[in-house]
Structure 1
Amino acid sequence: MKAGSETRTRPTRPDASMVLLDEVMRRPLDPGYADEAARRRDGTSTRGPRRTLVLTIVAVLLGAGTAAAAVALQPRDSVLTARSVLHDEIVQRSEEADAAAEAILELDARIDALQNAGLGDAYPVLLDGTQRDGAAAGTVAVTGPGLVVTMRDAVPLLGETDSASKRVLDYDLQVVVNSLWSAGAQAIAVNGHRLTATSAIRSAGEAILVDLVGLSSPYTIEAIGDPSTLPAFFARSVGQQHLTVLGSRYAITSDVRREKALALPAGRAAETLLARPVEALGSGASQNRPAGLPTP
């Protein structure tokens, strides 16, 4: 290799690896802080009386704005009055809805009575089929032997904050009700509300709704079924296991007892908004006519 092409290395300082430490030791202050300190020593600091006055005015304005916002957020008499009016209206509408529901049940009972009176003598076979279909659909009051399952919320301990886990949830009722159906129950009611094919058990906040009707603890589930098989099948079901877990983990008490005679009320008939019965045409009308009805 030629001498002119030899690579020369730049001589390095012995303390090159300690530049950062040396910089910290020699200049501990940021250049901005150092400049401000020099201005103060010279009497030329940028924080003069004018800037102090401006900062004071800004602080006063911010404080006044915060106080005004706090006052505006406080409930006034008009807000309290409006809230009271809404509460009274909600209570009134709820009472009207309850009265309308009772009137509907009374009208349904009258319709059933008139239907039974009209079909009882002329078409007994048709009446018997209608009663059976209504019992299966949950739209006819029924009676018979069965099981009664009662579930109660646990009593929270003194100072205990997590009380939500010790309440009966909609899921718990769903598990028990579905297990009763699987065990052979033919009719079920929860706190006196008959379950139909379209019934729903769900929650709204801390409340449990059955067909949009709020329920509270204790929850009583009545199920009519074969007394020789229903208790045994339910004892081996997931529902009974779920009750055991609720008692051991969350102190939710429950009991299952047999009853010789249960009386379950009729439920609301489902309203079909889209489904319509097929109109019989021609000779098919007489073929689809129930037994006992005369042919027009």
Structure 2
Amino acid sequence: MSLLTNVMDHSLDDGYAEATARKAAAGEGGLPRTLRAKLGLAAGLVLAALVVTVGAAQARVAAPVVAKEREELIDRIGRETDAADELEKSVDELRDDVGARQREALKDSGGSGQADLVGVLSGAVEVHGPGVKLVVDDAKGTSDGGDANPRGTSGFADTGRVRDRDLQRVVNGLWESGAEAVSINGQRLTALSAIRAAGDAILVDNRPLVPPYTVLAVGDGKGLKTAFQDSADGVYLHVLQESYGIRTAISSEDELRLPAAPSVIVRTAQPITETAQPQAEKGTS
């Protein structure tokens, strides 16, 4: 209690009080005493007040302009967003129209059975039926900072990441084993599909995919599964699992549904006639 009483009775420290008394005795501190000093102080206060007043006035004048520009920018963003949405809608409608025309062209190319087969093999129509579901994923604990180079000629690398060449071998192995239609992560593959790498990302037809990679293949379910596992590409996938920890799971399914390819290029081939052959190929007598 004595300490609290002392603090309340002597709110100003003795050292500060002594310094203040010393400055007062020496004529230092406090307000200016000479007329020149007082005029200088008054001029400084007037200048500071003038600066604050001018700044406030400018801010008040500019506020409506800034608010108007902000509203115009918001309106412009809204209009551009609506225009982009309309363009995207138009693109979707045109893509659907192109797909419908392509399917119609395939139907007109021959008999009904042949047209259905061509549509399935080209990826122009969606398919469903039994098949194989194969899930391929990176090894546990694999970081994004691994080696980004595709696998070398030996077929393997010192990382636990799935590479584009791995998916290429998986897909080719499924085709070779008897698959009639294949998709990766819901994206249908065709004879013109490309599986490539961009850094650590895997692109299918220039669309990036993220693991796990779910590969669906329509065909003879159990027979397709057995044929793939016994193939060289199935053994390759097994070695990846055993040596690098890449996770795989394969199962035969009674019903799979694969979407149609988003864009199918219709191409036709014509035999080269005798008159159309180059002169160099005809030979001379």
TM-score between both structures, scaled by the size of structure 1: 0.52
Q: How does 1:149-164 map to 2 (within 5 A)?
A: 149-156=134-141, 162=146
| C-alpha displacement of 1:240 | 2.0
| C-alpha displacement of 1:231 | 1.5
**Which consecutive aligned stretches of 4+ in structure 1 deviate over 2 angstroms post-superposition?**
94-116, 125-129, 155-158, 160-164, 275-280
Contact 2:142–2:160 at 8 Å: present in 1 too?
Answer: no
Kindly indicate whether residue 121 of structure 2 is the aligned counterpart of residue 136 of structure 1: yes
Q: How does 1:40-51 map to 2 (within 5 A)?
A: none
Which position in structure 2 is the counterpart of 1:242? 236
Kindly indicate whether residue 184 of structure 2 is the aligned counterpart of residue 193 of structure 1: no
Structure 1 gap ranges (5+): 1-91, 281-296
| C-alpha displacement of 1:271 | 5.3
Q: How far apart are the structure 2 equivalents of 1:203 and 1:98?
A: 27
Contact 1:149–1:256 at 8 Å: present in 2 too?
Answer: yes
Q: How far apart are the structure 2 equivalents of 1:259 and 1:105?
A: 31
Q: Alpha-carbon deviations, 1:19-63, whole Å to 9, x = none? A: xxxxxxxxxxxxxxxxxxxxxxxxxxxxxxxxxxxxxxxxxxxxx
Contact 2:135–2:214 at 8 Å: present in 1 too?
Answer: yes
Distance 1:161 1:152, change over 3 A: same
| C-alpha displacement of 1:241 | 1.4
Distance 1:97 1:163, change over 3 A: farther
Which position in structure 2 is the counterpart of 1:106? 96
Which position in structure 2 is the counterpart of 1:145? 130
Between stretches 162-171 and 139-148, larger displacement belongs to: 162-171
Distance 1:258 1:276, change over 3 A: closer
Q: How far apart are the structure 2 equivalents of 1:222 and 1:234?
A: 13
- RMSD after superposition: 3.6
Contact 1:156–1:163 at 8 Å: present in 2 too?
Answer: no
Give the secondary structure class of the aligned counterpart of 1:189: strand
Give the secondary structure class of the aligned counterpart of 1:166: coil
Aligned length: 180
Q: How does 1:259-278 map to 2 (within 5 A)?
A: 259-267=253-261, 268-270=263-265, 272=267
Distance 1:220 1:97, change over 3 A: farther
| C-alpha displacement of 1:109 | 5.1
Q: How far apart are the structure 1 equivalents of 2:85 and 2:203?
A: 17
Give the secondary structure class of the aligned counterpart of 1:154: coil
Q: How far apart are the structure 2 equivalents of 1:179 and 1:238?
A: 8
Amino acid at match of 1:128: G
| C-alpha displacement of 1:243 | 2.0
